[in-house]
Structure 1
């Protein structure tokens, strides 16, 4: 694509190259002196919204195609902006990676403490003491300090058995702490614990 030749015998075409309507000479003109491309101010503004450029640096597509692009052209400006955006994105990603590395080291330092706590908790609750179903809970033997006393005489009632128990049984002699008694069918339940 070469630039539009300017014929000195032909009068300049005063039409906007964007909208093809009449354009006065005071509008935006290509900076190449050999080119007669004109644009309306509004047409230039609509182009400048898409491709950022200044009116003083405007070059038409024919002049840009000649390879006479200056360092302040639109393409170079766009590339500089893209480079700035990419460097900012790189900085943000590096910051994000460093934060992730920091949180990863914290998690690695906490992992042995948590695993040792879990191991000690599993050792504290052996599998035999864990109950999953109702039938296992009903069959479970609890190590609580409960004494069940049943009379040898079937005809003796629970109230009489409790009276004899209170008169003959002294918890202080056995170093036992009686926290309560309860009458059950054919006997008495005594809840006690060792005195410490």
Structure 2
């Protein structure tokens, strides 16, 4: 039987106090006159018949089960979405995946759009990233990445022609420089 001075708010406090007692925590001194059984009575079920209590408990259990089912459905939907995203990423061509895996750790896609380079320019850039910044590349990956970047972010034809011309002339310029330096030494 509940304590005679416990009203609606008091029932809530009594229920919380009962919970605290069940957990072994100290309670407020104002409820010292109530027994543990009185404190642990669910104030909502207090005036109910046994059938009403049972129906309420079943409704609570159904709601708990429905909430659990919603949680499982949400997790399944998130898992399906994640798997679909992974499958979409895996279906893309190897050079795209490799470039993203190796380069996107430090760079975003906009970096590549701002840098239109020829194949030698991208090769130099990839090797610079590898040597100067420690980019991890397996054997042969630099060529796949360079080919992909040159194809998707290549320089305009005029810049490409200038680069290839300079590359073709480089050995001739080096040879001419060496010849000039050697000729100067012989004349001394």
- TM-score with structure 1 setting the length: 0.34
- TM-score with structure 2 setting the length: 0.35
More strand by share: 1
More helix by share: 2
Structure of higher RCO (CA pairs closer than 8 Å, 6+ residues apart) = 2
